[in-house]
Structure 1
Amino acid sequence: MYKKFFGLRENPFNVNPDPRYLYLTRHIQEALACLIYGIQTRKGFVLLTGEVGTGKTTVLNKLLEWSRQEGIATAFMFNPRLSEVEFFDFMLADFGIPSESPLKSRTLLKLNRWLLEQHQRGSRAILIVDEAQNLSADMLEEIRLLTNLETSTEKLLQIVLAGQPELEEKVNDPRLRQLRQRITLWAKTRPLTLLETHGYVKERLRIAGHAGGEIFSPAAIEVVHRHAGGIPRIINLLCEHALIGAFVEHSKIVSEKMVEEVACDFDLQEANREAPEVSNSGGHPVLVDHPVPQNVKPSSMSFTKAAGGKEELIR
């Protein structure tokens, strides 16, 4: 409807996690690099957490794209609300492993043989579980046991657990002590800063075909940021409907007032907490060769190379 009016090829603010629209902020780059590092070095368990709408699924889709380019076999669990039998059946099917028996023992035997074949060919395999905060403690323990599939030197299956902050609480459950001890890397997605929100909006318009010139006034983007709190999903919602409003009014510029009207229509109050500004110490992925300590947040950690090349935790 409004695409031709603004000279766009497609909707720039579609909520679908299209990897083409991945806006590489420093935090997103670090999160993606953390996941890739964990897979390349066969770390076993990697954790990715973040608030709803901060780009976790988009990062995972970018990871899947990278995995395909690298020839890495992947199983992507996008709906973890499955029974144990359904979970294992889906995983094997996504890996392309024929499964005839519902018995877990035979399923694990078949998976182990397939992983060993992959390893002998020099290939790797990744299990990615999105919305992992919805997994039960029992299912998380079953997933942990998959890391027992290993050679004498390395893990055969790399596992990425992604979810909302509730996942952080779950892995700190005393019942999941052994799982927590196996998490060697932990990355987080974060809300955008005001500067990043400006860049995010302009970049999405560019990818959608905008040839230049201003569509959103700087004041309008500031209002978007205030109401969205730096959350990309809400930024997309506000921007798309503001574009529709501008089109209806035959205005080539989205004004501050138009964004305020959209925010009012969706009952969006100004965010109580501003998105964090970029600092020199925060936001680094956790790269550790020992368990993430309980109650220590990744934003308070960084890493450095020791003399022997091993990552050491610094606070």
Structure 2
Amino acid sequence: MYESFYGFTSKPFQLNPDPSFYYGSRGHRRAMAYLEYGLHQSEGFIVITGDVGAGKTTLVRSLLQRLDSSKVVAAHLVSTQIDADDILRLVAAAFGLPAKNVEKADLLLQLETFLVKLTAAGKRALLIVDEAQNLTPRAVEELRMLSNFQLEDHALLQSFLVGQPEFRQTMQSEHMQQLRQRVIASYHLGPLDLAETRAYVEHRLGCVGWKGDPRIEASAFDVIHAASGGIPRRINTLCDRVLLAGFLSEKHGLTASDVDNVVTEMREESGPERSVTPINAMPGLDSSALARLMADPAAARRLAEVAAGYQASRLEARVEQLEKVICALLGLGANTTDGADQDKERRHAG
């Protein structure tokens, strides 16, 4: 809808992971470096975790796009609730091997034979398991057993495990000691900071031919970052709606107020469990103080973390928490805190 209005070649903030839109933030570049390091090592496990929507799948697909197929044969497996009985079949199928109605012993023999042939041909085998948090401990153990395949002193399979933060809890269990010993690098992909959020938005717009239409005020990026918590998928959802609202209002300039209006609209649609929060609309929050905070990435990130947990059922408690965080970050004294308490008392009286 809004693509032709703004002269875009396609939709800039689609939710489906697309490696052509890959943005290398500081965190994403470091995660990619770990994956490339793992490829160079050709053994063991690389573990990448990140919150929902942090860009893990886009990272993986970008890596796959870079691989030289003449040197690396990669299998990308997206797991659901997979147990040990199914994981070997899925791995075999991902490498193009027959797996239906095949006994476990035969599956293992097929996989080992396939991997040996690849190595003999001067190629490497890479297994990427996405959504690894869905694997049961027994399934993870089966993957670890596959890492035992060797030809002389050369490992036959390199594995990347990519999942949400809870996968780290699985790895820390007492039964995962042998897996932990095989992990050669691990990295947690965090949210984007304020500067990265702006660069991310402008990067995606640039991918579809954005030439300054619509104009986006600097303060609008403050609200986008605070409301999304710096999570790429949330940024995409919010920016898509902001552009749609701009198109419907025939606007060629977008302000912080425009973004706030969309955030409020999304909050009302999603109810108490909303994923974005209208930071500027919070009682007791001074806009100039917010601007100063957003200039400091560490402060902005802390504020976004608090805002991400903002719940309608605990409105007053969350507002008070945010006010305290803001005062602490700005280094304000007791007088400001007293003023915030007086504001809260006035709201109660009202």
- The TM-score normalised by the length of structure 1 is 0.83
SS at match of 1:186: strand
Q: What does 1:217-256 correspond to in 2, within 5 Å?
A: 217-256=217-256
Structure 2 spans left out of the alignment, 5+ residues? 268-275, 280-293, 299-350
Which residues in structure 2 correspond to 1:208-287 (within 5 Å)? 208-212=208-212, 215-267=215-267, 268-269=276-277, 277=297
Q: SS at 1:179's partner residue?
A: helix
Which residue of 1 is the match for residue 187 of structure 2? 187
- Name whichever of 152-161 and 223-232 sits farther off: 152-161
Matched, 1:143 2:151: no
The aligned counterpart of 1:36 is 36
**What CA distance in whole angstroms lies between the structure 2 residues aligned with 1:48 and 1:226?**
25
Asked if the contact 1:228–1:270 (Cα under 8 Å) also holds between the matched residues in 2, the reply is no
Letter in 2 for 1:105: A
Aligned partner of 2:2: which letter? Y
Whether the 8 Å contact between 2:225 and 2:235 is mirrored in structure 1 is yes
Please, which runs of 5 or more residues in structure 1 have no aligned partner? 279-315
Shift in Å, 1:56: 0.6
Q: Taking every aligned residue pair, what percent have the same amino acid on both sides?
A: 35
1:49 aligns to what? 49
Q: Which has the higher contact order (CA 8 A, sep 6+)?
A: 1
- Is 136-145 or 88-97 further displaced after alignment? 88-97
Secondary structure in 2 matching 1:266: helix
**2:16 paired residue number:** 16
Amino acid at match of 2:277: Q
- What is residue 306 of structure 1 aligned with on the other side? none
Alignment of 1:67-82 (within 5 A): 67-69=67-69, 71-82=71-82
1:176 is matched with 176
Worse overlay, 86-95 or 17-26: 86-95
| Amino acid across the alignment from 1:138 | R
d(CA) in 2 for partners of 1:136 and 1:99?
Answer: 20
Moved more, 34-43 or 93-102: 93-102
Given that 1:220 and 1:257 are in contact with CA atoms closer than 8 Å, whether structure 2 keeps it comes out as yes
Instruction: Give the SS at the match of 1:148.
Output: coil
- Within 5 A, what are the aligned runs for 1:146-165? 146-165=146-165
Larger helix share, 1 or 2 = 2
Quote how far apart the aligned CAs of 1:91 are.
Answer: 1.7
Contact 1:80/1:87 (<8 A) preserved:
no
Deviation at 1:77, TM superposition (A): 1.1
Letter in 1 for 2:80: P
Could you tell me the TM-score, scaled by structure 2's length?
0.75
Q: What per-residue deviation string (whole Å, max 9, x for no partner) do you get for residues 203-256 of structure 1?
A: 111101112455322111110001011111111111000000011111011221
Residue 54 of structure 1 contacts residue 231 of structure 1 at CA under 8 Å; is this kept in 2?
Answer: yes
Check conservation: 2:83, 2:138, Cα contact below 8 A. no
* Structure 1 residue 101 displacement after superposition: 4.4
- The equivalent of 2:199 in structure 1 is 199
Question: Following TM superposition, by how much is the alpha carbon of 1:67 offset from its aligned partner in structure 2, in angstroms?
Answer: 2.5
| Greater gyration radius | 2
1:118-137 deviation per Cα after TM superposition (whole angstroms, max 9, x unaligned): 00111011111111111111
Shift of 1:100: 5.5
Q: CA deviation at 1:69?
A: 4.7
Deviation for aligned residue 1:38: 0.6
Q: Which residue of 2 aligns with 1:299?
A: none
Deviation at 1:94, TM superposition (A): 1.8
CA distance in 1, matches of 2:100, 2:93: 11
Q: Residues 56 and 172 from structure 1, CA distance in 2 versus in 1: closer, same or farther, beyond 3 angstroms?
A: same
- Supply the distance in 2 between the matched residues of 1:156 and 1:270 (Cα, whole angstroms): 51
Matches of 1:83 and 1:134 in 2, distance apart?
9
